[in-house]
């Protein structure tokens, strides 16, 4: 078994692609319209991942749906960053900031922070001192 992707729904596909590409440094791998089903899929890959069959983030836009109730069951996706300070500079330069942190995880060795994407999804950023 191998991890392939995580799918999240978006109310504005172009806005979400721009956020993940321009703010987080993801690479757009593919974007496909499905007129019969009235939806568009975009697959993005995080910096540091390689190959078109590696782990992806799938953004799904259902035509005509501009927002979703995220509910109480969803938690977050997490990504490793090499330097929380460098990431903070990049984030702020693009007009964004952390929604929480950075702070230390209970183990005391890991710096963590959270940001929120344009649709309200939580993203955890992790910098491990031993990584």
Interatomic CA distance for residues 17 and 41, integer angstroms: 11
- The H or E element containing residue 33 is strand 27-34
User: Quick one: pLDDT at residue 1?
Assistant: 55
Cβ(100)–Cβ(87) under 8 Å?
A: no
Enumerate the β-bridge partners of residue 128.
110
Place of tokens 């109480």: 72
Q: Which of 38, 89, 124, 127 is catalytic?
A: 124
97, two tokens: 């900031």
Residue ranges in 25-83 assigned as alpha helix (H): none
User: Quick one: pLDDT at residue 130?
Assistant: 59
The topology under which CATH files domain 1-63 is: 2,3-Dihydroxybiphenyl 1,2-Dioxygenase; domain 1 (3.10.180)
Interatomic CA distance for residues 127 and 130, integer angstroms: 9
First to last CA, the chain: 25
Range(s) within the chain of domains with CATH label 3.10.180.10: 1-63, 75-131
124 is known as an active-site residue = yes
Class of domain 75-131: alpha beta
User: Quick one: pLDDT at residue 131?
Assistant: 47
User: Quick one: pLDDT at residue 54?
Assistant: 79
Dihedral pair phi/psi, residue 86, rounded to 5°: -65, -40
User: Quick one: pLDDT at residue 97?
Assistant: 93
pTM of the model: 0.84
What tens-digit pLDDT sequence spans the chain (131 residues)? 577 889 999 999 999 999 999 999 999 999 999 999 999 999 999 988 877 777 899 999 999 999 998 888 788 999 999 999 999 999 999 999 999 999 988 777 789 999 999 999 999 999 976 54
């Amino acid at each position: 078994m191998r991890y392939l992707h995580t799918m999240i729904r978006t109310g504005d596909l172009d806005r979400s692609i721009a956020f993940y590409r321009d703010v987080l440094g993801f690479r757009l791998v593919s974007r496909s319209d499905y007129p019969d089903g009235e939806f568009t899929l975009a697959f993005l890959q995080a910096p540091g991942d390689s190959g078109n069959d590696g782990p992806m983030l799938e953004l799904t836009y259902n035509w005509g749906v501009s927002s979703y109730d995220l509910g109480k069951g969803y938690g977050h996706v997490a990504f490793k960053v090499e330097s929380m300070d460098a990431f903070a500079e990049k984030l702020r330069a693009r007009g964004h900031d952390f929604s929480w942190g950075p702070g230390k995880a209970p183990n005391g060795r890991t710096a963590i922070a959270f940001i929120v994407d344009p649709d309200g999804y939580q993203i955890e950023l992790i910098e491990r001192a031993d990584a």
